[in-house]
Structure 1
Amino acid sequence: MDALVSLGEGFATALTFQNLLLALLGCFLGTIIGALPGLGPSNGVAILIPLVFTLGLPATPALILLTSVYYGAMYGGRISSILLNIPGDEPALMTTLDGYPMAKQGRAGEALAISGIASFVGAFFATWGLVFLAPQLVKVALLFGPAEYFALFTLAFATLGGIASRNQAKAAFAAALGLGIAMIGVDGQTGVPRFTFGEVHFYDGIDFLVAIVGLFALSEVFIFLEHRGTDKAAEGGQKDLGRVIPSLKLLKFTSGATTRGTLLGFVAGVLPGAGASLGSFIAYSFEKRISDRKKTFGKGDPRGVAAPEAGNNAAAGGALVPMLALGVPGSGTTAVLLAMLLALNITPGPLLFQSNPDVVWGLIAALFIGNLMLLIMNIPMVSLFVRVLMIPPKYLMPAVAMISFVGIYGISGSTFDLMVMIVFGVVGWILRKLDVPLVPIILGILLGDQMEKNLRRAMTISDGDIWALFSSPLSITLWTLAIVGFVLPLIIGRYLRPKIADEDKAEGSDPD
């Protein structure tokens, strides 16, 4: 009851004309930022921090603006993922697996609407979780030490083969390549350069944004150049837009995936350092394991859109729990928000709810308001977003290339990063021709650094005892799931897939 009373006071703070205007502005800007290839919530929030100080906004309005941008970017990331097969940000990676095939089938409107509704549900219930479950979930998060995090990341990589590709060998190669790229740079513990080949620009490692824009956006441009003048090159402008509003039957069909994605994503978001990327990955992985009886995932299954979108938006809300309650950022974006709080002389942590209740509860109330604004904005604007499909590729691809180059140069200011991005584009084009999945590479780059750091921390704490990685019931559970997740697809591939293929042939005449 105390939480509800405090939330009511928060709504009194948030429901002012200035704060509502800032929330609307943040949602609109965030959606655009999320939709642009290469830009994501972290960059969107970081770019607007100077604006906050320029306007001289107090703590509560400043946080309302930035968290609205955060939620808006989580929504917007799905747009380019579904329409162009280019993730707008890290968590939107998993949405491309089924969202883009749906768009190619003429169901882009349905895919965007389903993702918008799933995003709303995930963020809405995650915000309620932030209100009621923060103290209990923080206790669970505190059980995760370095050994448990290493086991968690191992679980993520162990299940990559069954998600990203039918060929586990290619998926394993892609994951190893991603981990290798993550190792580039100066070793944080010894200060020794690794895999830099004497190039000082590599000392800070490979920027994730450079890799993701190169592998996805530029490789798409190279594929267009390869097929220019053919039927494949003209494919983009001829797609049927299909329904813009999903049917009640489709909403019911995806409701289970949305619910499960919300729960898994919220838990992943609460774990400090895991973030929305892992939330969307786990949500998609789990849904594929339990629902993909007809092998439709990866071919345009709406559940493959609903699960990761609910997961990444629930994780976005969950990531605020450790930031506000412990002062530990749950994701890259909450790390930027944490810096913003400290710059405003507000210290996140257990005393925050007592020392600055107006800031905390005003922020939480604004999350409810912003989420509702995003739903109202996004569903009517689905038809506008779908119009992107009508742009001929000969105009769209140069625009994608221009946005990619301008976006990366605007963030880093380095021409060297542009050259690295081109290299990643060529590599992505070659790997796509060889049918090597790109998602494991990106996840390897994304998770590799944290995986290494947690392994080394665990070894330092245990004085080199390898058994420390298996010392807690939680880590043993995660290792068991990792082994099962890796072995099970091999068994299914060897013994069950032939049977399923035979059944599919036998049912060939069945329209369903």
Structure 2
Amino acid sequence: MMVGVLPGLGPSAGTALLLPLTFGMGPASSIIMLAGIYYVAMYGGTITSVLVNIPGESASVITCMEGYPLAQKGRAGVALGVAAIGSFIGGTIAMIGLVFVGPFVASQALKFGPPEYFCLMVMGMTMVVGLMGKSLVKGMTSAFLGLALSLVGLDNSSGIARFTLGTDYLLSGLDFICLAIGLFGLSEIFLSLEADLHSEVTIPPIKGLFPAKEERPIVAKSILRGTVLGFLIGLVPGTNSVIPTILSYSLEKKLSKHPEKFGTGVVEGVSGPETANNAYCGGSLIPLFTLGIPTSPTIAILLGAFVMHGLQPGPMLFQENPDVVWAVIASMFIGNTLLLFMNLPMAGFWAKLTHVPNRIMFPIIIVLCLVGTYSINNSVMDVVMTFLFGILGYLMKKGDFPIAPIILTFVLGDIMESTLVQSMTMFRGDAVQFVQRPICAVMLLITAAVLVVSILTTAKRRATYGDEEIEM
């Protein structure tokens, strides 16, 4: 919850910073903790968005547009109430969808061979690069940087050392913990330390958690629409939690009988996006569990956590590690219920965390995460690498380079390499056979379509706004 409340952190940074704490835990406990952070942090950002107009994480920006005006009218409790109820309903239905859709998708994915897996990962990587960020070139640069970093260490096939700079430290490859904490956690903190968020904040009183009787049918419909929208978008690689909230808000405004009231504090402008936000979480777990494909930066970190604990997400996960899968799903149901009944009474307390100056809070977080990084291997080099990746992430964000493609391609790089080698061995070096397999051909066609759409979209933006606004 604190991760979601504090501006500058959010689910991605929170899961990355707390990865070191999972060492010593069992696989199920580790994934449950990180998935819980991912889920609960989504609602944590809602509290400060409504009460003090400060989004705790990016998906909560839309909530500020209606939640804060409601709080100014003395209806902060209603805004938080419909957000919590919508989050509970959307999250629960999404988990039910995971229970029924997940095993079916996994059973179909068992028909995939190495060529299909390779094409699937190429498609997922391309969608992340093509759909995230303004610049296709910058997205591709980040993706290839992640692939290059994944090649550091011993070659799995030949055992030849690659890009080790003659040091034994790099023979085992770069540590995912160092990469994730640096690129997501430290870089966000470095950026946040630039902001001046020390002004006094007045927290409005919280009372009356339920909307008026005439508003309830409107809220119910917005929750239903937000659930479907968020769940479906969660299935698509390259998306993030901001997309379903924006689309849900736009849809509610378009369907409203009084669209002119949006921006002045309407409850469906809170319930719809918040429901879509949490339904997105459940939907995004299906590609992870069944195909081993992360759909967002936070899911990529969860994929890394799976791999670190000796688990391989994909179609065999439901058969080889059903205890982990169903434990995580059950924990999400429990966490969803606790989120509803525990956080509303404590909303005022969590909002007070925004009073702690960044110059005090973030240095403490930096020290704790570096100590956690050191404790994994008792290696000073791990700390140095984490700090270097933090600087790299900071510079990339300042230069508007997306971070998600690096994490995605770093995690998938080793698997992509092995499936490519297996595929080329099957094909006896004839790459043309990729397009002769129907599933591979469809995936490669989608990959090409995403690239074309991304190029055309960028060209249209450039024509509209000029070269100074949009880069190719």
Match of 1:396 among 354, 361, 365: 361
Cα distance per residue 1:277-329 (max 9 Å; x no partner): x5xx44659859988989xxxxxx98887656534434447766799xxxxxx
Paired position in structure 2 for 1:313: 282
Instruction: Give the secondary structure class of the aligned counterpart of 2:447.
Output: helix
Instruction: Give the secondary structure class of the aligned counterpart of 1:490.
Output: helix
Match of 1:476 among 441, 445, 455: 441
CA distance in 1, matches of 2:416, 2:80: 33
**Counterpart code for 2:143:** A
Residues 198 and 79 of structure 1, relative CA distance in 2, 3 Å threshold: farther
Match of 1:191 among 159, 163, 187: 159
Paired position in structure 2 for 1:234: 196
CA distance in 2, matches of 1:478, 1:160: 14
Residues 194 and 335 of structure 1, relative CA distance in 2, 3 Å threshold: closer
Kept in 1: contact 2:92–2:333 (CA 8 A): yes
| Unaligned 5+ runs, structure 2 | 49-55, 252-268, 293-301, 467-472
Paired position in structure 1 for 2:26: 49
Kept in 1: contact 2:183–2:394 (CA 8 A): yes
Match of 2:228 among 251, 259, 272: 259
Paired position in structure 2 for 1:440: 405
Kept in 1: contact 2:200–2:355 (CA 8 A): yes
Match of 2:92 among 106, 120, 124: 124
| Unaligned 5+ runs, structure 1 | 1-26, 51-62, 85-94, 228-232, 269-277, 295-300, 324-329, 340-346, 502-512
CA distance in 2, matches of 1:481, 1:469: 14
Cα distance per residue 1:230-286 (max 9 Å; x no partner): xxx423555787898898778865754542442464x68xxxxxxxxx5xx446598
Paired position in structure 1 for 2:420: 455
1:428 equivalent in alignment to 2:405 = no
Residues 199 and 404 of structure 1, relative CA distance in 2, 3 Å threshold: same
Alignment of 1:496-507 (within 5 A): 498=463
Instruction: Give the secondary structure class of the aligned counterpart of 2:186.
Output: helix
CA distance in 1, matches of 2:328, 2:456: 48
Residues 456 and 293 of structure 1, relative CA distance in 2, 3 Å threshold: farther
User: How many angstroms does 1:479 deviate by?
Assistant: 1.4
Kept in 2: contact 1:37–1:217 (CA 8 A): yes
Cα distance per residue 1:346-397 (max 9 Å; x no partner): x9976999xx9xx998997666444323443345444443333221111122
TM-score, structure 1 length as denominator? 0.62
Alignment of 1:236-251 (within 5 A): 237=199
Instruction: Give the secondary structure class of the aligned counterpart of 1:235.
Output: coil
**Count of aligned pairs between the two proteins:** 411
User: How many angstroms does 1:331 deviate by?
Assistant: 4.8
Paired position in structure 2 for 1:142: 110
Residues 223 and 82 of structure 1, relative CA distance in 2, 3 Å threshold: farther
CA distance in 1, matches of 2:401, 2:210: 33
User: How many angstroms does 1:120 deviate by?
Assistant: 4.5
**Counterpart code for 2:172:** D
CA distance in 2, matches of 1:315, 1:124: 14
User: How many angstroms does 1:480 deviate by?
Assistant: 1.5
Between the aligned residues of both structures, percent identity stands at: 26
Kept in 2: contact 1:163–1:288 (CA 8 A): no
Residues 136 and 79 of structure 1, relative CA distance in 2, 3 Å threshold: closer
Kept in 2: contact 1:105–1:239 (CA 8 A): no
CA distance in 1, matches of 2:460, 2:65: 32
User: How many angstroms does 1:466 deviate by?
Assistant: 0.9
Paired position in structure 1 for 2:264: none
**Counterpart code for 1:432:** K
1:163 equivalent in alignment to 2:125 = no
CA distance in 1, matches of 2:124, 2:346: 35
TM-score, structure 2 length as denominator? 0.67
Q: CA RMSD in A?
A: 5.1
Paired position in structure 1 for 2:14: 37
Paired position in structure 2 for 1:17: none
Match of 1:152 among 117, 120, 124: 120
User: How many angstroms does 1:413 deviate by?
Assistant: 2.6
